[in-house]
A and B are shown apart, each in its own frame.
Chain A
Amino acid sequence: MNGGPLHPPEWTVQHRGPDTVLRLAGDWIACRTGVRSPADARRTVDEAGNGTLRIDCAQLGQWDCGLVVFLRMVRDRARAATGIRIDDAAVPQAARQLLALTAAATSATHGSRKVAHKSIAVRAGENVLRAGKEVGLATALVGESALRAPVALAGRARTRAVDVLQLAGEAGFGALLIVAICNGLVGDILAFIGAVQFRRFGAGIYVADLVGIAMVREMAAVMTAIVMAGRTGGAYAAHIATMQGNEEIDALKTFGIPPFDFLVLPRVLALVTMMPLLYLYGCAVGLLGGYVVGIATLNITSSAFLVELQEAVAGRQFAIGLVKSLAFGALVALAGCHIGLRAGRSAAEVGRAATSAVVAGIIGVIALDALFTACTNAMGI
C-alpha cells in the first residue's frame, strides 16, 4: 500500500429491474479509512430487498481486510434474511477467497454457548456455597498433611529431601534481613510507647517487661508469620499456579507422583521447620531493639534492664511463641499451596492466586493468633 491520499470508502445500492447492484468505490483500508459497522451492512442489505444482490467493484480503489469484513457482514445478513442471493463474481479474486475461508471457519465453531447473566442474589449465593466448599477443601488439606507428614518423615512418601532442604534454605536465609527489620522496629516501637507511658508513674523499668512479654509471646511470632505470608506464601501459590498452567501438575499425576507429596509436603515441612527458627531470631532482634531504645530514653542501667527482662520472660512465654510459630508456618504454607493447586490455567490466575494466598495467610495468622490468645487466657497461662 502506498502512502498517497486515500478516498473514503463509499457504497451505493441501485435497483435495476429484478437485480440490485451494490456499487463499491473508494479505498477500503481498515486502519486508515476505518471499518464499517454492522448497522451499515444491515441497512445496505435491507435496502436491497429481495432478488439478487450483485456487487460491483469497478470503482474500487485499494482494499484490505476493511473490505472483507464489510462483505462478510453483508453476506451474513443476506443469509439471515432469506430470499437474497449474492453475486460476488466481480469482487477481486483474493477477497473472494478470504471470504470463502471465513465461511469454513464459522461453520466449524458451532458450539458457542452464551453465558447467562446472573443476578446479585444468585452470585452472592454461589459465593457462599463456594466459600463453604473452600473451607471443606482446606480442612481436607490440613488433615491430609497431618496424616502424610509422618509418612514423609519416615521416607516413604514421594517427597524428596533435597526439595525440603532447598525450600527451607530459600524460605529461611532469604528472609533473615526483612524479619530482622520488622521485628527490630516493633521492639523499638514497643519500648518507645512503654517509656512514654511508664515514665509518668516513675515506673520506667517496666518497659523491659512490656517489650519482653509482648515480643516473645505475641509480636515476634505474628510479625514473622506475616512477613513469611507475604514473601513465601505468595511465592508458593504463584509457583504452583504456574505449574498448573503449564500442565506440569498433570505430568506429575501421569507418572503417579502425587502432587501433594511432591509439592505440598516439602513446602509445609520447610516452613514448619524454618518458622520457629525465624521466630527465635526475630525475638532476639526485637528484644535488642527494645533494649537499645529503653536504655537510650530512660534513666536506667543496662544491667537493671536485663535483669528485669530476664525475670519477665519465662520459658513458658517462649513455649507459647514457638507453638504459635509452628502453627503459623503450617498455615502459611498450606494456604499458599492450596490456593496454587486450586488456581485456573492462565497468567491472570497466577496473579490472583498470589494475591489471595497473601491475603489468606495474613488473615489466617491474625485469626489463629486471636484463637491462641483466647485459649491461653482460658487456660490461665
Chain B
Amino acid sequence: MSRDESLLSRLEVRNLTVAFGTNVVQRDLSFEVRAHSIFAVMGGSGCGKSTVLKAMIGLLSPATGTVLVDGEDYEAAGERRRIEIRRRFGVLSQGGALWSSMTVGENVALPLQMFTLFDASSIRALVDLKLALVGLESAAEKMPSELSGGMRKRAALARALALDPDIPFFDEPSAGLDPITSNRLDDLILELSSGLGATVVIVTHELPSLFAICDDGIFLDGETGRAIARGAPRSLRDGCGDPTVRAFMERGRRATDAARGTGS
C-alpha cells in the first residue's frame, strides 16, 4: 500500500445522531476510519456502541447525519446501490445472529452461493478454511442450536468473513471466549488488516485486545450521549485526561476505589 492510500478514509461519519423514538442514544458523532486501520468503538455497557455500529452498516437510519462509505453517501444511495455497498461489509453482530434453520457450514456457504459463481467443491473448500480460521472445522455439520455461546460467536465470525469483506465490522468478537481463543482471534483480526488490507471496525471491552490490535478509535459516553475521546486506545490510556476514559482503560480500579473512598 502506498503512503497516500493509507491516509484515505474508508468510512466517514458526519454529525451522526442515533435515536430510538425520542430516546437519543448518541448525538453529533463525527469521525473517520482510515484505510487499513483497526478502529475501536469503546464505551461503557449500554452507551450505544452497537447502535452506532448498526447505523454505520445501514441497518438503522440515523436521526440526523450521514455515513460516507468510500466517499459515497450511504443513505442517499438507492436500494440497489446500497446492496452493492453492503457487499464490502462483513458484519458480526453482538448476538451472532446465525441463521438458525441452517447448519454452521450452510451459514458460511450461503453468501458464497448467493454472490459468487464458485462450484460446490470450491465453496466447500472456502467454508472449511473460514471455519478452520476460527477453530471450528469440526462443527460444520452442527446446527447453531447445538453450539456453545462462544462457538456460536466464532461461527458467526466465520460467516462474516465468508466474502472476504473489505470492511469487517465486529461487535464484541471475543466476548465470552477464553484468553487463548481470544488471543487467536486478535491474531486473525491483525492478519485481516495488515495481511489482507481490510479496514476493521471493532467494538470490544477486552483491554488486552484494544491495546494490542487497535490503532485508532472513539470513546462514547453513555451519560452525555456524546463522544468524549478520539485516538488509539494505547494513547488514550497513556495520555487522556478524561476521568471516565482513564477509569475504563485502567479497568475501573480508580473509579471503584473512589466510590469506596467516599462511601466510608
Binding site for B on A (CB under 8 A): 88-89, 96-97, 99-101, 103-104, 107-108, 110-111, 113, 158, 160, 239, 242-243, 246-248, 250-258
Whether the pair A251, B97 counts as a contact (CB closer than 8 A) is: yes
Complex CA gap A89/B262 in Å reads: 11
Contact between chains at A256 and B84 (CB < 8 Å): yes
| B23-40, CB < 8 A from A | 23-24
A261 nearest in chain B by CB position: B114
Interface centre among B22, B24, B95, B262, by most chain A C-beta atoms within 10 angstroms, is B95
B9, chain A: closest CB distance, angstroms: 21
For the complex, is B222 an interface residue (Cβ under 8 Å from A)?
Answer: yes
Question: How far, in whole Å, are A246 and B144 apart by their CA atoms in the complex?
Answer: 12
Could you tell me if B86 and A254 are in contact, using CB atoms closer than 8 angstroms? Answer: yes
CB neighbours of B193 from chain A (8 A): none
Does chain A have a CB within 8 A of B211? no
A108-B100 in contact given A100-B260, A246-B95, A247-B95 (Cβ < 8 Å): no
Closest Cβ neighbor of A239 among chain B residues: B101
Contact A250 B93, beta carbon cutoff 8 Å: yes
Are A255 and B114 in contact, CB atoms less than 8 angstroms apart?
Answer: yes
Cβ of B83 under 8 Å from chain A = yes
Which residues of A sit under 8 angstroms from B260, Cβ to Cβ? 97, 100
Known: A99-B263, A104-B259. A254 touches B59 (CB 8 A): yes
Q: Is the interface of A mostly helix, strand, loop or mixed?
A: helix
19 further A-B pairs in the complex, CB-CB below 8 A; given A242-B100, A248-B97: A96-B264, A97-B263, A100-B263, A101-B259, A107-B223, A246-B95, A246-B100, A247-B97, A248-B99, A248-B100, A250-B54, A250-B59, A254-B59, A254-B90, A255-B86, A255-B114, A256-B84, A256-B87, A256-B115
On chain A, the residues within 8 Å of B95 by CB distance are 246-247
Contact B93 A247 (CB under 8 A): yes
Q: Are A250 and B97 in contact (CB under 8 A)?
A: yes
Taking CB atoms, residues of chain A closer than 8 Å to B263 are 88, 96-97, 99-100, 103
A103 and B223 in contact (CB under 8 A), knowing A111-B23, A246-B95, A257-B114?
no
Can you give 25 contacting A-B residue pairs, CB < 8 Å? A89-B264, A96-B263, A96-B264, A100-B259, A100-B263, A107-B223, A113-B22, A239-B101, A243-B99, A246-B100, A248-B97, A248-B98, A248-B99, A248-B100, A250-B54, A251-B93, A251-B97, A251-B159, A254-B57, A254-B59, A254-B89, A254-B91, A255-B111, A256-B83, A256-B87
With both beta carbons as reference points, the residue of chain B lying nearest to A99 in the complex is identified as B263
Name the distance in Å between B254's Cβ and chain A's nearest Cβ.
Answer: 13
**Chain B residues, CB < 8 A from A254:** 57, 59, 86, 89-91, 93
Residue from A108, A160, A242 in contact with B223 in the complex, judged by beta carbons closer than 8 Å: A108
Binding site for A on B (CB under 8 A): 22-24, 44, 46, 54, 57, 59, 83-84, 86-87, 89-91, 93, 95, 97-101, 110-111, 113-115, 159, 163, 222-223, 255, 259-260, 262-264
Cβ contact within 8 Å between A253 and B59? yes
Q: Chain B contacts of A158 at CB under 8 A?
A: 114
Bound CA–CA A303/B238 (angstroms):
98
A136 to B21, CA, bound (A): 22
Name, among B84, B91, B263, the residue most crowded by chain A CB atoms within 10 Å (CB to CB): B263
CB distance from A303 to the nearest CB of B (A): 52
Instruction: Please give the distance in Å from A336's CB to the nearest CB on chain B.
Output: 16
Smallest CB separation, B25 vs chain A (Å): 9
Give 3 closest A-B pairs by Cβ, nearest first. Answer: A247-B97, A256-B83, A254-B91
Instruction: Give the CA-CA distance A234 to B262 in the complex, in Å.
Output: 57
CA distance A256 to B255 in the complex (A): 43
Closest A residue by C-beta to B259: A100
Contact B83–A251 (Cβ < 8 Å): no
Q: Are B259 and A110 closer than 8 Å at their CB atoms? A: no
Selected contact of A103 from candidates B22, B91, B115, B259, CB within 8 Å: B259
- Chain A residues closer than 8 Å to B101, beta-carbon distance: 239
- The verdict on A251 contacting B91 (CB below 8 Å), with A104-B259, A113-B22, A246-B100 known, is yes
Q: Contact check, A243 vs B100: say whether CB atoms are below 8 A apart.
A: yes
Shortest Cβ distance from A69 into chain B, in angstroms? 17
With the chains together, A246 CA to B93 CA distance in Å?
Answer: 10
CA distance A242 to B95 in the complex (A): 14
Min CB distance, B75 to chain A, in Å? 15
- Complex Cα distance, B145 from A242, in Å, reads 14
Contact partner of A246 among B22, B46, B86, B97, CB < 8 A?
B97
A110 touches B223 (CB 8 A): yes
A31 to B98, CA, bound (A): 41
Instruction: Quote the shortest CB–CB distance from B103 to chain A (angstroms).
Output: 13
Q: Which residues of A contact B113 (CB under 8 A)?
A: 160
CB distance from A238 to the nearest CB of B (A): 12
- Nearest Cβ on chain B to A209's Cβ, whole angstroms: 47
Of A88, A101, A108, A256, chain B has the most CB atoms within 10 Å of the CB of A256
Interface centre among A243, A250, A254, A257 (most CB of B within 10 A): A254
| Cα distance A158–B87 in the bound complex, in angstroms | 14
Contacts A96-B264, A246-B95, A250-B59 given: A113-B23 contact, CB under 8 Å? Answer: yes
Question: Shortest Cβ distance from A266 into chain B, in angstroms?
Answer: 12
Q: Which residues of B are found within 8 Å of A246, using beta-carbon distances? A: 95, 97, 100
> How far apart sit A99 and B262, CA to CA, in the bound complex (Å)?
12
> Which residues in A have their C-beta under 8 angstroms from that of B223?
107-108, 110
Interface hub of A158, A248, A252 (most chain B Cβ within 10 A): A248
Report Cα–Cα, A231/B165, bound state, in Å.
40
Cβ-closest chain A residue relative to B88:
A256
CA of A103 to CA of B264, assembled, Å? 14
Selected from A110, A111, A258, the residue in CB contact (under 8 A) with B83 is: A258
Q: Which residues of the partner chain B approach A111 to less than 8 Å between Cβ atoms?
A: 23-24
Please give the distance in Å from B116's CB to the nearest CB on chain A.
12
Q: Considering the complex, give the chain B residue whose CB is closest to the CB of A111.
A: B23
Complex Cα–Cα for A253 and B260 (A): 47
CB closest chain-A residue, reference B263: A100
